[in-house]
Amino acid sequence: MRPFEPYNQEAEEAFVGSFFLDSELVKECAILPEQLYFPELRLLYTGIRSLVEKGMPVDLVTILSELGIEGIKNAGGMTYIAQLIGSVPSIANFHTYEKLVKEYDKKRKLIAAGEKIMGQAASEDSDTTVRDGINELMRIEEDQTDDDTGEITSSLVELFVECEQDQGEMVGIPSGFHDLDRLTGGFQASDLVIIGARPSMGKTAFALSLALQAAEEDVSLIFSLEMSKKQLIKRMTGCTGRIDSLKMRNPQQSFGDEDWEQFANGIGKLSHLQLHIFDRAGMDVAYIRSKVRKARMAYGEERRLLVVIDYLQLLEGDRKNYQNRQAEISEISWALKTMARELNVTVIALSQLSRGVENRHDKHPILSDLRESGQIEQDADLIAFLYRDDYYNSDSSKKNKMEIILAKHRNGPTGTIELGFNKQYGAFVNL
């Protein structure tokens, strides 16, 4: 059996030869010289691109002037170049040649990635090997599958059809809180939403509330880096069953008959939700992306997916590639936004705030309080902060109230709304 050869010489020669028939093709071609396998053709293509940039014609005389005698020798010589030009009958099949060149470049990169994974598997731990391998394959996919021509006709048709239909006030995933939904229109697909708060402010409880609401009609995926799956389910059962969190610590001793009934009702409600919880230690974006991609394939493109990450600063990046934690968090933030767009999901990532909040007289959070990265502010489509005045002031006039502060909203208004917060159940209610 003939061994596989990761190149197509005929396609590369026809690709480069086409530019001598029509140099304008260079301007509509996105292939780079390094994507060609043969060094002679790579050099020749580089010279052709340079001539076109200078506004000069492409022929045997100009390419000789551009590359020089030594360069022409390295490109195979004048005889080879003349044969190359004569072997292309017309430019009618140029895009076929271009597609073949791109395809074989992708094959070579996949082979190189496979060899790298094999080598790394012998020396690194398996988790690192899998993570790096997934990242490498994703980069290849992103580089090679961009066939977007930028045309807008189909988008204009989609917009016209959407405008003819009554979208209602709720176009995204509802939060279950009417004042918040009035400002946001629901959480939109492809958006990155950041919910920031100081520790013990209630951000996990708020995120669980959003996930539970979404899972009733849509699909929720929770990635918990701080609490186990069992702990989260316990909290959600107490919330949906309206059971005191203190009683949930030891139900056998604390529950009465009514509590057991509410507990059973809570479990019953959870069992009917489209809810998935992942609590693997040391999660990274590649792991989250793989699970979200599987969910997207399982539920189809028509289902809305809400992805909740608790919380951003606990996510791991590849620290070998970053000089500091700020750069690492910036990369993680960008990766989450990219995932939201590519898989058409809503990503809600919880974020810790810096201690600077505690040193101010007014402890309402502001955008500069986001920990470790201004990139988070740039990538996020919506940033909301949670604030409870009774957390700081025991005699507060806003007992058991949570302020939701929309500090950034790329596609809508900002503002502050208030919810009732029942600490006993970890539940939020409309006021």
Domains and CATH numbers, the chain: 1-144 (1.10.860.10), 168-430 (3.40.50.300)
User: How many Å apart are CA 431 and CA 428, to the nearest integer?
Assistant: 9
Q: pLDDT tier at 230 (50, 70, 90 boundaries)?
A: confident
pLDDT tens for 10-35 read: 888 888 888 888 888 887 787 888 88
Residues labelled catalytic: 226
pLDDT at 184 over 60: yes
**More confident position, 383 or 133:** 383
User: Rounded mean pLDDT of 229-235?
Assistant: 84
Q: What is the per-residue pLDDT for 305?
A: 93
Residue 277, phi then psi, degrees to nearest 5: -125, 130
Which of 266-280, 335-349, 366-380 is predicted with the least confidence, judged by mean pLDDT?
Answer: 366-380
User: How many Å apart are CA 249 and CA 245, to the nearest integer?
Assistant: 7
DSSP string, 80-143: HHHHHHHT---STTHHHHHHHHHHHHHHHHHHHHHHHHHHHHHHS-HHHHHHHHHHHHHHHHHH
Percent of the chain with pLDDT over 70: 86
pLDDT at 104 over 70: yes
**Tokens in use for 104?**
């074989």
User: Rounded mean pLDDT of 75-99?
Assistant: 85
Element (H, E) at 190: none
User: Rounded mean pLDDT of 175-197?
Assistant: 87
User: How many Å apart are CA 131 and CA 127, to the nearest integer?
Assistant: 6
pLDDT tens for 36-77 read: 888 899 899 898 888 888 888 888 888 888 888 888 888 888
User: Rounded mean pLDDT of 254-272?
Assistant: 79
User: How many Å apart are CA 101 and CA 37, to the nearest integer?
Assistant: 9
Q: What is the per-residue pLDDT for 323?
A: 64
Q: What is the per-residue pLDDT for 291?
A: 87
pLDDT tens for 291-334 read: 888 888 888 888 899 999 987 888 876 555 566 777 778 888 88
Contact assessment for residue 277 and residue 307, using Cβ atoms and an 8 Å cutoff: no
Q: What is the per-residue pLDDT for 347?
A: 93
User: Rounded mean pLDDT of 246-260?
Assistant: 73
Question: Would you tell me how many other CB atoms lie within 10 Å of the CB of residue 149?
Answer: 6
Contact assessment for residue 429 and residue 419, using Cβ atoms and an 8 Å cutoff: yes
Q: Which residues of 76-88 are buried (b: 16+ CB within 10 A; e: fewer)?
A: beeeebeebbeeb
Q: What is the per-residue pLDDT for 169?
A: 58
Q: What is the per-residue pLDDT for 346?
A: 92
User: Rounded mean pLDDT of 401-410?
Assistant: 88
Q: pLDDT tier at 161 (50, 70, 90 boundaries)?
A: low
HSE-CB at 130 with a 13 A cutoff on CA atoms is 9
State the SS3 of 323-390: CCHHHHHHHHHHHHHHHHHHHCCEEEEEEEECHHHHHCCCCCCCHHHECCCHHHHHHCCEEEEEECHH
User: Rounded mean pLDDT of 256-268?
Assistant: 79
User: Rounded mean pLDDT of 375-403?
Assistant: 84
Q: pLDDT tier at 145 (50, 70, 90 boundaries)?
A: very low
Q: pLDDT tier at 96 (50, 70, 90 boundaries)?
A: confident
**More confident position, 128 or 350:** 350
| Cβ within 8 Å of residue 380, ≥6 positions away | 192, 193, 194, 333, 337, 408, 410
Task: Please indicate, yes or no, whether the overall pTM of this predicted structure exceeds 0.85.
Answer: no
Q: What is the per-residue pLDDT for 165?
A: 58
**DSSP designation for 2:** P
Please provide the average confidence, as pLDDT, over all residues in the chain.
81
Q: What is the per-residue pLDDT for 268?
A: 82
Question: Would you tell me how many other CB atoms lie within 10 Å of the CB of residue 129?
Answer: 18
User: How many Å apart are CA 128 and CA 315, to the nearest integer?
Assistant: 14
pLDDT at 150 over 60: no
**Tokens in use for 305?**
């997916």
